[in-house]
Amino acid sequence: MMRKIIHVDMDCFFAAVEMRDNPALRDIPIAIGGSRVQRGVISTANYPARKFGVRSAMPTAMALKLCPHLTLLPGRFEAYKEASHHIREIFSRYTSLIEPLSLDEAYLDVTDSLHCHGSATLMAQEIRQTIFDELQLTASAGIAPVKFLAKIASDLNKPNGQYVITRMRCQRLSKRCRSARSPAWGKSLRQSWRTWGCEPAEMYRTAI
């Protein structure tokens, strides 16, 4: 039986919690982490800030050069943990096979789940909608038969979207994996493609 893996990734999670709790922040560039007077690193940034090039793990000083009017917030980790706990409780309604990767993302193995007539695609849609209904936060999801590909898929229709990797999409995805943001074609990647039933060397030639 082919496994059904969903990778759920919250959209700019820390920033999204701040914008939910303070609507005045929704349309301005904000970032979590660091300060204007001390050295620090950005934990996450909302999409208005990302338009200026502000990214996670970026030194705060660099972020302020890119976006001088950036609003910096210290972070409220108890609020983020509370939201994360609620999200995982939603996951548990669909499967007990949950592998958290951080506060804002996790793998769900729904292979044996009977929800939504066993459709992983419909389960992902329902999970995302439930998260929004109960927490007013958006999530993106990727669906595939292996974790590695599910994680890639969750990034292909962000924000607030989802993507399913089917065998027919395998070659198309190989082309996307040549982009600068995608992982290198190392041993783990080759193994993941073969697990999916694709030959990396052939796909590499197609991508070129």
Instruction: Flag whether 152 is in a domain.
Output: no
Q: What is the CATH number of the domain that holds 32?
A: 3.40.1170.60
Give pLDDT tens digits for 122-133. Answer: 999 999 999 999
Domain presence at residue 183:
yes
**Is the confidence at residue 206, as pLDDT, over 50?**
no
> Looking at the domain assignment, is residue 137 inside a domain?
no
Domain that holds residue 59: 14-73
Catalytic residue among 105, 126, 134, 199: 105
* Pure H helices in 93-185: 120-135, 147-154, 170-176
**Does residue 147 sit within a domain?**
no
For residues 26 and 16, the answer to whether their CB atoms sit within 8 Å is no
β-pair type (30-32, 71-73): parallel
CA-nearest of 168, 35, 9 to 87 is 9
Query: Residues in the chain, how many?
Result: 208
**How far apart (Å, rounded) are the C-alpha atoms in residues 150 and 29?**
30
- Give the angle 109-112-113 at the CA atoms, nearest 5°: 85
Domain final residue, candidates 54, 73, 92: 73
- Look up 89 and say whether it is catalytic: no
58 lies in a domain? yes
Report if residue 130 sits inside a domain.
Answer: no
Number of compact structural domains in the chain: 2
Burial of 78 (0-12, 13-18, 19+ CB in 10 A): exposed
Q: Does residue 44 lie in a domain region?
A: yes
Residues 107-156: tens digit of each pLDDT:
999 999 999 999 999 999 999 999 999 999 999 999 998 898 899 999 99
What percent of the chain lies above the pLDDT cut of 70?
79
